[in-house]
Structure formats: structure tokens, C-alpha cells
Amino acid sequence: MDRDELLRVLKAFEDEGLEYVLVGATALAMHGIVRATEDVDLFIRATADNVERLKRALRAVYADDPNIEEIHPQDLLGEYPSVRYYPPTGDLYFDILTRLGEAARYEDIAVERKIVAGIPVWVATPRALYDLKKDTVRALDRQDAEVLRQRFLLEDR
């Protein structure tokens, strides 16, 4: 993942007022737990206006990418509330969600604000990440949860 590219995207999110929260490995990195990843996972608030803010932010970084127009509010507000966006650079991609089944939605995730290279970034708290990852079927998520549990002295609720 190209750090400068990610910072440009995060700055564009801030500039557009996107209501989002980073989850996944990118959020782990913001808490000092670094592991390889090829994507940026984020939840956004499920409103048509917020989807439009997302598209404006992506256009600010990837101005000539017609694929941004393929992101539709009905996709993120519908039955399967996620899209994967592949920028033209090919260095990283974004998994954008408004909810994860019945397990989580944007409003359910506890967030904290971090400042990264002068940019305010909204990140799931270690507890929120732990709760999202600890009971999944994916072994990597359970490993992430264990690292979070140990690093932040988290207990099951």
C-alpha cells in the first residue's frame, strides 16, 4: 500500500466531510499493530448524501477514473451494503461498507480521532476492532483480535 496515496485519500475524506471509520488492517496500523494488507476497509454512514461525499473525495484523488461513477447509493444502502473500489493506480483498493450483516453498522462502531501527518482520521477503537474480529471464521481476524487483546489488555464482555 502506498502511504502517500492513502494520505491523499484520507485528506480528501476530511475535506469532503465524509462520515467514515477505518476498520481492518489499516485501523490496526493506526493503533501501532502493523501487518501486510492490500486493502483499506471502512464503514461509512448509510445516507445518499454521504455516498456522494465519498464519490467527491475519490474524484479529488482519482480525477480521471470513470469507475467512481459506478458507486451508487442504492448499492451501499441496499441489501448487500458494500462495494469494492479499485483505484487506477492499482496500489491498493477500498472495501466500503455501511453494515456487516447484523454484526455491525457505521453507527455501532466506537471511534477515535487520530492525527496522521496532520490529517484527522476516524479509526475504530481497539475494543471495537477486537469485537469485530474475535468471533469471525477467518483465522487472520482471530489472530488480529488476539494481538489487540494482549496489546490493549482487553477482556471479553
pLDDT of residue 23: 97
For residue 21, being part of any structural domain is answered with yes
Structural domain contains residue 126:
yes
Asked whether residue 60 is assigned to any structural domain, the reply reads: yes
Query: Could you tell me the pLDDT band of residue 1, with boundaries at 50, 70 and 90?
Result: low
CATH number at residue 37: 3.30.460.40
pLDDT at 56: 98
- Asked whether 55 and 10 are in contact (CB, 8 A), the reply is no
Q: What is the predicted pLDDT for the residue at 53?
A: 98
Tell me if 48 is assigned to some domain. yes
Question: Measured between alpha carbons, how far is 76 from 82 in angstroms, rounded to an integer?
Answer: 5
Is residue 86 a contact partner of residue 46, using CB atoms and an 8 Å limit?
no
pLDDT given at position 2: 85
Residue 50 lies in domain: 3-152
Task: Check if the beta carbon of residue 43 is closer than 8 Å to that of residue 98.
Answer: yes
Judged against a pLDDT cut of 80, whether residue 4 lies above it is answered with yes
pLDDT digits (tens, 9 = 90+) for 106-125: 999 999 999 999 999 999 99
User: pLDDT band for position 90 (50/70/90)?
Assistant: confident
Segment 10-61, tens digit of pLDDT: 999 999 999 999 999 999 999 999 998 989 999 999 999 999 999 999 999 9
58 burial (CB, 10 Å; 0-12 / 13-18 / 19+) is: buried
52 contact partners, CB below 8 Å, separation of at least 6: 73
Q: What is the pLDDT of residues 56-80, one digit of tens each?
A: 999 999 998 999 999 999 889 888 8
Does the pLDDT of residue 6 top 90, yes or no? Answer: yes
Residues 6+ apart with CB under 8 A from 71: 51, 54, 55, 58, 83, 85, 96
How far apart are the C-alpha atoms of 45 and 151, rounded to whole Å? Answer: 29
Q: Band of the pLDDT at 103, cuts 50, 70, 90?
A: confident
157 belongs to a structural domain = no
Number of structural domains (the chain) is 1
Reported in sequence order, the residue ranges of the chain that DSSP labels E, i.e. its strands, are 20-23, 39-44, 82-85, 93-97, 99-100, 104-105, 111-116, 119-124
